[in-house]
Amino acid sequence: MTRFRFTVEYDGRVFMGWQRQAHGPSVQQAIEDAIFSVTGEAVEVIAAGRTDAGVHASAMPAHADIARAITPFRLMEAINARLKPQPVAILDCALAPDFHARFDCTGRRYRYRIINRRAPLTIDAGLAWRVPMQLDADAMHAAAQRLVGRHDFTTFRSAQCQANSPLRTLDRLDVVRHGETIEIFAAARSFLHHQVRSMVGCLKLVGEGRWSADDLAAALAARDRAALGLNAPPDGLSFIGAIYPTLSVGLTGWA
C-alpha cells in the first residue's frame, strides 16, 4: 500500500462541499470515484479541510492509500482524465509515506474576495461577493484585529458546527483592497464551521459604517450566535493553502 499526497483545485459551485454526502455531489466523492475508475480500489481521500457547499479551493492538500503500483505522475494524469468535465483538478501528486493531510496540518489559510462595485458580476459571478455600497477597507482591517488571538468564537460558529470546543486561535485576519477588489485573508490552525464567513459578514457591516470595531468586539464577547450581524455567502471563500511541519502547500496570493 502506497500513500500519495495530492494538491487539489476545485470550483465549489456545483458541489455540496468537500465531504462525501448522501444528498448531493461532493469533491471527495468525485476524486474517490476517479481513483476507483483508475485502480479498481475503493479508497478514502482525506483532505486538510472540509469546505462547505459553494466554497472553492486553489490548493487543498489531501492523501489516499493505493495498492496498485503506479507512479505519481501517471496517477495524477489518469485521475484528471476521469474527473472531466467536473471542475476539479489534481495539481500535484507525490509519494508521501508519513503524511496525513488532516492530522499533520498545523495551519490553514483562507481568502475571501469581495468585489466592491455597483455593476453586476459576470466573470466573477459565483467566485466573489458583490457589495455595491462603498466599503472602508481600512476600517475593516482595523476592526478585524479585535478578533485576532485566542477567543471563544461561539458567535461566529454555525449552529451545526460539530467541533468539541468554540475556542480557536486566529493568527491573522487581514483586509486588503486592490482597486474594486477587497481580499480578506484568515490564518489559523483550524476554524469552526462558518467561522470565516461569519467574520467576513460582520466586517462588511463595519466597512459600511453600520458597525464599529467596538460592535464587532461586543459580538465576539457575547458568545452567542444571535449576536452575529451577518453571515457572508460562500461564493467568495477559497481554501488557499496549508502548513505542515516540513511542508507548505499553496498560499498563492497570500498577503
- Give the 3-state secondary structure of 179-215: CCEEEEEEEECCCCCCHHHHHHHHHHHHHCCCCCHHH
Estimate to the nearest angstrom the gap between the alpha carbon of 110 and the chain centroid. Answer: 5
- Tell me the pLDDT tens digit for each residue of 96-107: 999 999 999 999
pLDDT > 70: what percent of the chain?
98
Domain annotation covers residue 134: yes
Domain co-membership, 55 together with 10: yes
Domain annotation covers residue 244: yes
Quick check: 221 and 193 in contact, CB under 8 A?
no
Q: Give the count of domains, the chain.
A: 2
Categorize the per-residue pLDDT at 127 as very low, low, confident or very high, splitting at 50, 70 and 90: very high
- Tell me the pLDDT tens digit for each residue of 203-247: 999 999 999 999 999 999 999 999 999 999 999 999 999 999 987
Domain co-membership, 67 together with 141: no
Question: Which amino acid does the sequence have at 87?
Answer: P
Q: Which three cell numbers stand for residue 163?
A: 467541533
Helix (H, G, I), strand (E, B) or coil at 77: helix
Domain co-membership, 80 together with 192: no
Domain co-membership, 186 together with 214: yes
Domain co-membership, 115 together with 229: yes
Domain co-membership, 118 together with 202: yes
- Whether the predicted pLDDT of 24 surpasses 70: yes
5 forms beta bridges with: 63, 94
The DSSP element (H or E) to which 149 belongs, if any, is: strand 149-152
| C-alpha to C-alpha distance for 23 and 81, rounded to whole angstroms | 25
Q: What is the DSSP letter of 125?
A: B
- Whether the predicted pLDDT of 252 surpasses 60: no
Domain co-membership, 218 together with 118: yes
Domain annotation covers residue 236: yes
CATH code, domain with 191: 3.30.70.660
Give the residue carrying C-alpha cell 483545485. 9
| C-alpha to C-alpha distance for 155 and 169, rounded to whole angstroms | 15
Domain co-membership, 118 together with 70: no
Greater model confidence, 159 or 188: 188
Mean pLDDT of 20-42: 95
- What is the per-residue pLDDT for 255? 52
Average model confidence (pLDDT) for the chain?
A: 95
- What is the per-residue pLDDT for 155? 97
Helix (H, G, I), strand (E, B) or coil at 14: helix
Domain annotation covers residue 173: yes
Domain co-membership, 174 together with 246: yes
Non-local (6+) Cβ contacts of 212 within 8 A are: 143, 206
Structural domain containing residue 240: 107-250
Q: What is the DSSP letter of 159?
A: T
- Whether the predicted pLDDT of 78 surpasses 70: yes
CATH code, domain with 14: 3.30.70.580
Domain annotation covers residue 47: yes
Give the residue carrying C-alpha cell 456545483. 14
Q: What is the pTM of this model?
A: 0.94
Which of 95, 126, 149 lies at the terminal end of a domain, its last residue?
95
The residues carrying an active-site annotation are 52
